[in-house]
Amino acid sequence: MLLNYKNEILSITREFDEKTIKKLGIKSLVNLSEKLQDKENDDISTQMYELKEILNDISAGAISDKRKFRKAFSIVRKLVQDEFDYHQKDSIKEKYIGIGIAIGVAIGAGLSSIMASYIGVGIALGVAIGAGIGTQKEKEAFEAGKIYWLIKRLEFSVTIKTDSKKETMIKLRYHSLFEWKGDEFYE
């Protein structure tokens, strides 16, 4: 089972600065490991262990391992996508935009026989169609729980009581990737 990787990754990367966390995609890795908590796969477990070891080396000061980490992380993302059909946020949309560009070039080449400036129209049309289809597919994947995000949770709840006394309570609960920021109550 892939249970403890989230906590181990968080403890290793606690000393990393925000720039390194963003550059390596640590937040995405933590959310992915949380999504995989109850799953079992030996290949993914082996790769996650390697990622953890590379992170240990990076925290010890091995700057050259950042490239190795990104390569290993892309292997993990591919394995997760193939095995469990989980996708990183915006990856489906990017795929369909790429397909749209390729089709748009073909459409633009056909239109350029009429007028040379129409090649740009074909590319723009392809990007628009690809983005539309990709957004719809990503929305479907999100509703099926197949997308892992960079931000975990953001909740708002509003309670308004209008009995004999007028009471208004707004509860804001927000979650950072690394720790609970808090619950705030306003009355």
What per-residue confidence (pLDDT) applies to 2?
A: 61
By CB neighbour count within 10 A (0-12 exposed, 13-18 middle, 19+ buried), where does 158 fall?
exposed
Q: Is the pLDDT of residue 160 over 80?
A: no
Q: Which of 62, 84, 106 is the last residue of a domain?
A: 84
Please provide the average confidence, as pLDDT, over all residues in the chain: 78
pLDDT category, 154, cuts 50, 70, 90? very low
Contacts of 14 (CB under 8 A, 6+ apart): 178
**What's residue 44's pLDDT?**
87
Indicate the number of domains in the chain.
3
Same domain assignment for residues 9 and 80: yes
- Res. 185: pLDDT tops 70: no
Lowest mean pLDDT among 3-12, 48-57, 98-107, 166-175: 166-175
Alpha-carbon distance 55 to 36, whole Å?
19
Domain match, 10 and 51 both: yes
23 and 61, same domain (yes or no): yes
In this predicted structure, the answer to whether residue 163 has a pLDDT above a threshold of 70 is: no
| Domain range enclosing 65 | 5-84
The DSSP-derived string for 47-91 is HHHHHHHHHHHHHTT-TTHHHHHHHHHHHHHHHHHHHH--EETTH
Give the model's pLDDT for residue 99. 94
Token duo for residue 102: 């390729």
Q: Are residues 56 and 18 in the same domain?
A: yes
pTM of the model: 0.65
Q: What is the mean pLDDT of residues 98-105?
A: 92
